[in-house]
Amino acid sequence: MSNVTSERKPNRPGHGGGPMAGMRAVEKPVNFKSSLVKLLKCIKPFTVVLTVALIFAVASTVFQIIGPKILGDMTNEAYVILFGQQIDMAQISYWGLWLVILYALGAIFNYIQGFIMSTISVKITQKLRSQISEKINKLPLKYFDTTNHGDTLSRVTNDVDTIANTLNQSLSGIITAITTLIGVSIAMFSISWIMALVCWITIPIALLLTSLIVKFSQKFYKQQQQSLGDMNAHVEEIFSNHNIVKAFNGEEKENQKFIQNNDKLYVSGRNSMFTAGLMMPIMTFVGNLGYVLVSAVGGVLVLNGYIEPGSILSFLIYVKLFSQPLMQVASVANVLQSTVAASERVFNFLEEEELTPDCSTPKKIENVKGNVEFKNVCFGYSKNKQIINNFNVSVKAGQKVAIVGPTGAGKTTIVNLLERFYEIDSGDILIDGVSIKDLTRADVRNMFTMVLQDTWLFEGTIRDNIIYGKQNVTQEEVEQACKNANIHHFIMTLPNGYNYVLGDESNISQGQKQLLTIARATIQNAPMLILDEATSSVDTRTEELIQEAMDKLTQKRTSFVIAHRLSTIKNADIILVMKEGNIIEQGTHNELLKKNGFYAELYNSQFTQKEGQPN
């Protein structure tokens, strides 16, 4: 069975994509005001260009509005024929040419506006993303151990894209919409105030109906998302555990559950789709209502000589121009809310507490020997639960420390403290007599080479991965390191050898990855070593290779080994026994056996069993 990545995309509402855009459930920001202010601050450097864009937006809208008025004049000119006069074609052509220029200019202005806005939104979001990435480097490891990666990822992409969309489309759209509403109103009043008032009747109707529809459709949309979530969760569970369902004859049970979910999804999906789809006919109706009112009232007015017939045509176009921005203005609240909610998440991340800065006058250790001392070390992952109490141990240069304990005993804690991934609460860790707090983090980490079981390799060539710890090395050194790590031969069998690109589809086994990380560590050649021994997830032959490579790596280095193999443990100078996060025993193999404590129990239960003889 393939494992399904547990990184689920959160179902966050975004807008811009999809046919139901603008109809989605709106997520509300916690602190609307302060987040909005922060967002505005991001836009501030672009104030000048932004103003230019808005001026162009207004200008193009104004042209858009003057157009129908001239068109009406042209029609009026045609009307003279009803009274037996000749149409003045010269005049019509004059107006026509003016309109061509006007429309062309309007389009150009409109484009300039769009060009500027899309540029600004890309620049701002590019910067936000960079800030997020830089922030990642400044956060303490605790943040990553306690938050879901998918969540941070979605801030980089989804949330930032939501902001981009709003800046790009909604912002100028709203400005245009408001300009249009005002401009069209002015134009209408200048032609006939009665007709203008008649058109205005449609505004409250439109607003009322839209907000009603949005309210309903959001309710149903939420229901739909809920049942979709249930459905997805069930399907994911069943499909990923296909063999279990089969082995336990669970098909019928699951099918009943599926039918239930499917029915719920059907009803909510149908309702959500219908209510969202109501927007169009209702707005068409409002548009048509305006159309009818203009035609009828206009007709009556013309008949009574208040306005000219061409004005009806102008109004007909105005009514159309009117209904579109009305919808936009009605939805502005929602767009703004979801954007501010998105930027709130981004800003919250950017404001997370950072690492304490390195010591301002750091010491340097020349020629690291590798004496390590833990002095009264206390540590807990959370403030109210201390797991390591007053721990003392002194490790001489070149010694081997084995860390043992059952699964989940917190063996990586020692790694976290040595590499300064986490800071100790009290006490001190000394390297060659110098407290690691007085060194820069970079220097501390340079003293250690680390090989973890989680074989993290990145997308790139094998060579790039191996020289990850030390960039300026020759090909010979790389090959020598790989030979030491027993992986050179394998690399040579790959297409392109050292330039083979590691990626999702590359055919590298877990064991081979492990060897690559050993090669990477070999190149780094640091005076001390942190090693996580492989468990049995690789085949025997590869395990032999790994073991041999690891043994080479530990030679002449102070090494801390999370040990699973008996030989490593027995040969260790110091064994640290961990249970439930705490170091409960320490000593050599023989000392600990004599003590007859937890280690002895562990050792006896796993290794000394005889056939049919429980201990």
Residues numbered 356 to 395 that lie near another protein (CB under 8 A) are none
Kindly state the number of chain residues that form the binding site for another protein, as judged by CB under 8 A.
169
Instruction: Please give the biggest Cα pair distance in the chain.
Output: 124
What are the DSSP calls for 549-598, one per residue? HHHHHHTTSEEEEE--SHHHHHH-SEEEEEETTEEEEEE-HHHHHHHTSH
Q: Which is nearer to another protein, 338 or 512 (CB)?
A: 512
Residue 561 near another protein by CB under 8 A: no
Question: Which residues is 428 bridged to in the sheet?
Answer: 375
Task: Compute, in degrees rounded to 10, the torsion defined by CA atoms 79, 81, 84, 88.
Answer: 110
Residue 291 near another protein by CB under 8 A: yes
Q: How far is the CB of 64 from another protein (least distance, A)?
A: 7
Q: How far is the CB of 392 from another protein (least distance, A)?
A: 25
The span from the CA of 387 to the CA of 410, in Å, is: 9
End-to-end CA distance of the chain: 37
Question: Which residues is 530 bridged to in the sheet?
Answer: 450, 560
Residue 581 near another protein by CB under 8 A: no
Q: In the window 177-206, what residues touch another protein (CB under 8 A)?
A: none
- Among residues 12, 20, 219, 500, which is the contact residue for another protein, using CB under 8 A? 20
Q: Are 183 and 132 in contact (CB under 8 A)?
A: no
Q: Give the gyration radius of the chain's Cα atoms.
A: 36
- Among residues 178, 205, 222, 241, which is the contact residue for another protein, using CB under 8 A? 241
**368 three-class SS:** coil
Q: Are 436 and 443 in contact (CB under 8 A)?
A: no
Q: Which is nearer to another protein, 196 or 447 (CB)?
A: 447
Q: Which is nearer to another protein, 316 or 494 (CB)?
A: 316
Q: How far is the CB of 509 from another protein (least distance, A)?
A: 8
Q: Which is nearer to another protein, 360 or 540 (CB)?
A: 540
Note the helical H segments in 192-201.
Answer: 193-200
Q: In the window 27-86, what residues touch another protein (CB under 8 A)?
A: 60, 64, 67-68, 71, 74-75, 77-79, 81-82, 86
Q: In the window 493-512, what residues touch another protein (CB under 8 A)?
A: 509, 511
Burial of 599 (0-12, 13-18, 19+ CB in 10 A): buried
Q: Which is nearer to another protein, 55 or 136 (CB)?
A: 136
Q: How far is the CB of 421 from another protein (least distance, A)?
A: 6
Stretch that binds another protein, among 295-303, 376-384, 422-430, 473-481 (CB under 8 A): 295-303
Q: In the window 146-165, what residues touch another protein (CB under 8 A)?
A: 149, 152-153, 156-157, 164
Q: How far is the CB of 407 from another protein (least distance, A)?
A: 5
Note the helical H segments in 358-503.
Answer: 412-418, 441-447, 462-466, 475-484, 488-493
Name residue 291's amino acid.
Answer: Y
Q: How far is the CB of 432 from another protein (least distance, A)?
A: 19
Q: Which is nearer to another protein, 29 or 563 (CB)?
A: 563
Q: In the window 242-281, what residues touch another protein (CB under 8 A)?
A: 242-251, 253-255, 258-259, 262-263, 265-267, 269-271, 273-274, 277-278, 280-281
Burial of 24 (0-12, 13-18, 19+ CB in 10 A): buried
- Among residues 35, 121, 210, 413, which is the contact residue for another protein, using CB under 8 A? 121
Q: Are 314 and 191 in contact (CB under 8 A)?
A: yes
Q: Which is nearer to another protein, 35 or 64 (CB)?
A: 64
Q: How far is the CB of 414 from another protein (least distance, A)?
A: 13
Residue 538 near another protein by CB under 8 A: yes
Please give the C-alpha separations between residue 164 and each of 117, 119, 123, 542, in angstroms, as whole numbers. 10, 10, 9, 49
